[in-house]
A = this chain, B = another copy of it.
Amino acid sequence: MIINPENVPNRTTTIYPQEFKSLVLGRVKKAVGNAAGLKNFGVNLVTLAPGSCSALRHWHTRQDEFIYVLEGEVTLVTNEGAQILQPGMMAGFPAGEDNGHHLVNRSQAAVVYLEIGDRTADDEAHYPDNDLMARASADGWILTHKDGTLYES
């Protein structure tokens, strides 16, 4: 089925603990894959306002990720440093590769990209720059400090 993103709700919420929420304040996701009824992977159309991040820098143990830049100029930060991506550029982040990544909009204009990720069970997300760990459970992500203690939500 054809998906018109104008008919897909904007999601601006985050599961991050309070101290990290401001980093993704300018992030708007439209779950266009879910809107089409897909279950095996997600496809989101994401807009980042200037100053906003896609996520904290992280990598997944079991889930693959891929992004394709549609509009604007966005900075990809990995262990290799900062690299600028322009429309038509793309990047993939294989499961289990210990190289934290995120996108940061350091420009003065909105950035729009597609993000794709699968839903393999028993996934974990690791955050090299922050005192945060995430573990997938049947009830959603469980976020803890690196010592395993829960965040107050």
- Measured CB to CB, the residues of A under 8 A from B are 1-5, 32-33, 35-41, 43, 63-64, 66, 68, 70, 76, 83, 85, 88-95, 97, 114, 116, 118, 120
Contact = CB atoms under 8 A, between A and B. Distances in A.
B118 A36 contact: no
Nearest to A38: B64
B2 A76 contact: yes
Given A38-B94, A40-B95, 5 more contacts: A37-B97, A39-B94, A40-B63, A40-B118, A40-B120
B89 A33 contact: no
A94 to B, nearest CB: 4
A65 to B, nearest CB: 8
Given A3-B91, A91-B1, A40 B68 contact: no
A92 B37 contact: yes
Per CB-CB distance, the 7 closest pairs between chain A and chain B, nearest first, are A36-B92, A37-B94, A40-B118, A38-B64, A40-B64, A2-B91, A43-B66
Copies of this chain present: 2
14 contacts: A2-B76, A32-B66, A33-B92, A36-B91, A38-B66, A38-B94, A39-B95, A40-B120, A41-B64, A41-B116, A43-B68, A43-B90, A68-B114, A70-B88
A89 B134 CA distance: 33
A105 to B, nearest CB: 17
A60 to B, nearest CB: 10
A6 to B, nearest CB: 11
